[in-house]
Chains A and B, each alone.
Chain A
Amino acid sequence: MRRLLAPSLILAATLAAASAQAATPKDALVMAWNLDALITLDPAQIAEVNGNDIMRNVCSRLVRFNIADPSKLEPEIAESWSSSEDGLTLTFKLRKDIKFPSGKAATAHDAVWSLKRAIHLNFGNAANLTEWGFTSAKADEQIRAVDDHTIEVKLPQPYPTGLIVSAAFTSNVSSVLNKETGEKNAKTTDGRSDYGNGWFKTQSDCVGPYKVRTWNANDVLILEANDIYFGEKPGLRRVLIRHVPESGAQRLQLEKGDIDVGRLLSSDDLKALATNKDIHIEQTVMHGYSYFAFNAQDPILSNPKVRLAFRYLVDYEGLERTVMAYQGKARNSLVPIGAFGALDEKAGLPFKLDLDMAKKLLTEAGYPNGFTKKYILSANAFNPAVAQHVQANAAKVGIKLELEQMADANLFTKMRAREFEIGQIGWGAGYPDAHSMVSRHAQNPDNRPEAKLAQYPTWRSAWVDPKVNDMAAKAMMERNDAKRIAAYHELQKYMLENGPMAYMFQTVRPIAIRKEVKGFQIGAFEVRYRSASK
Chain B
Amino acid sequence: MSVTDVNQPRETISRRPEASKIPPWAWDAWRIVSSVAVTLLGLLALTFFIGRMLPIDPVIAIVGEQADASTYDMVYKQLGLDKPLYVQFLYFMGDMLRGEFGNALFMGNKVSADLMRVFPATIELATIAITIGVFVGIPIGVLAAVYRGSPIDHFARIIGLLGYSVPTFWSGLMGLVLFYAILGWVGGPGRLDVFYIDIVDRVTGLLLVDALIAGEWEVFQNAVSHIVLPASILSFNAIAFISRLTRSFMLAQLSQEYILAARVKGLSKWKVIRKHAFRNIAVQLLTIVALAYAILLEGAVVTETVFAWPGFGRYLVSGLLAGDMNAVLACVLIVGIIFVSINLICDLLYRILDPRTK
Contacts and interface: CB of A to CB of B under 8 A. Distances in A.
Interface of A: 11, 14-19, 21, 24-25, 28, 30, 32, 36-37, 39-40, 47-48, 122-127, 198, 201-202, 213-214, 216-220, 222, 240, 242-246, 248-249, 252-253, 255-256, 258, 407, 409-410, 412-414, 416, 427, 440, 452-455
Contacts of B109: 202, 217
B314 A218 contact: yes
A122 B70 contact: yes
A455 B67 contact: yes
Contacts of B198: 213-214, 222
Nearest to B198: A214
A353 B330 CA distance: 51
Nearest to B225: A18
B308 interface: yes
A252 B61 CA distance: 30
Contacts of A242: 189-190, 194, 308
A407 B189 CA distance: 25
A253 B177 CA distance: 10
A11 B228 contact: yes
Contact of A15 (B55, B224, B310): B224
Contacts of B186: 15, 19
Main secondary structure of the interface of B (DSSP, over half): helix
Contacts of B310: 216-219, 243
Contacts of B64: 47-48, 123-125
Contacts of B221: 14-15, 17-18
Given A15-B228, A252-B177, A30 B194 contact: yes
Interface residues of B, number: 61
A124 B71 contact: yes
A503 to B, nearest CB: 17
A253 B194 contact: no
B210 interface: no
Main secondary structure of the interface of A (DSSP, over half): mixed
B282 to A, nearest CB: 20
Interface string B297-337: 00000000111101000110010011100000000000000
A219 B107 CA distance: 14
Contact of A216 (B106, B117, B318): B117
Contact of B189 (A17, A37, A249, A454): A249
Interface in B222-245: 222, 224-225, 228
Given A124-B66, A409-B323, A412-B60, A249 B194 contact: no
Given A123-B71, A413-B56, 14 more contacts: A19-B186, A21-B222, A47-B64, A122-B74, A202-B109, A220-B197, A246-B173, A252-B188, A256-B181, A258-B194, A409-B56, A412-B65, A454-B72, A455-B69
Contact of A47 (B66, B224, B228, B323): B66
27 contacts: A11-B228, A39-B62, A47-B67, A122-B71, A122-B74, A123-B63, A124-B66, A125-B64, A127-B71, A198-B108, A201-B107, A213-B198, A214-B198, A216-B117, A220-B190, A220-B197, A242-B308, A246-B189, A246-B306, A248-B306, A249-B176, A258-B188, A409-B323, A413-B57, A413-B60, A416-B60, A440-B66
